[in-house]
């Protein structure tokens, strides 16, 4: 239980640091958040818990395929905000787009024989 709490606390600290940095410098905050810090931590924890190279390789490969459909949200959100759409509707539209693109990715990956 302590290990789970440490993992959650560390992840939360990273998010808090990013939000504080982004208040002062949006670009630097974006750079930090774009680093795959949480993915790296997740891989470290997965390795520590399983020592299974195949599972870790599958996880890393699937992460790659799921990052791609999430990227358009980072184009749609600022576009909508700059056109006067409120934050919550713009965020909802970005999340909806991402969910649709995840579904398309899963469908395409299945047809192409890629295991996610």
Question: Looking at residues 24-32, what average pLDDT do you find?
Answer: 92
* pLDDT per position as a tens digit, 65-100: 999 999 999 999 999 999 999 999 999 999 999 999
Q: CA–CA distance from 2 to each of 48, 66, 78, 93 (Å)? A: 15, 30, 39, 37
Task: Examine the pLDDT at 43 and tell me if it is beyond 90.
Answer: yes
Residues 56 and 50: beta-carbon distance below 8 Å:
yes
* pLDDT per position as a tens digit, 44-71: 999 999 999 999 999 999 999 999 999 9
pTM of the complete model = 0.81
Q: What is the pLDDT of residue 116?
A: 87
């Amino acid at each position: 239980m302590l290990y789970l709490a440490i993992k959650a606390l560390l992840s939360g600290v990273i998010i808090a640091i990013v939000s504080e940095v982004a208040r002062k410098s949006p670009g630097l905050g974006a750079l930090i958040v774009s680093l795959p810090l949480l993915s790296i931590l997740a891989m470290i924890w997965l390795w520590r818990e399983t020592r299974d190279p195949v599972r870790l390789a599958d996880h890393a490969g699937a992460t790659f395929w799921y990052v791609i459909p999430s990227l358009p949200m980072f184009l749609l959100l600022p576009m909508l905000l700059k056109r006067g759409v409120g934050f919550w509707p713009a965020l909802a539209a970005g999340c909806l787009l991402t969910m649709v693109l995840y579904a398309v990715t899963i469908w395409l990956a299945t047809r192409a024989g890629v295991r996610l």
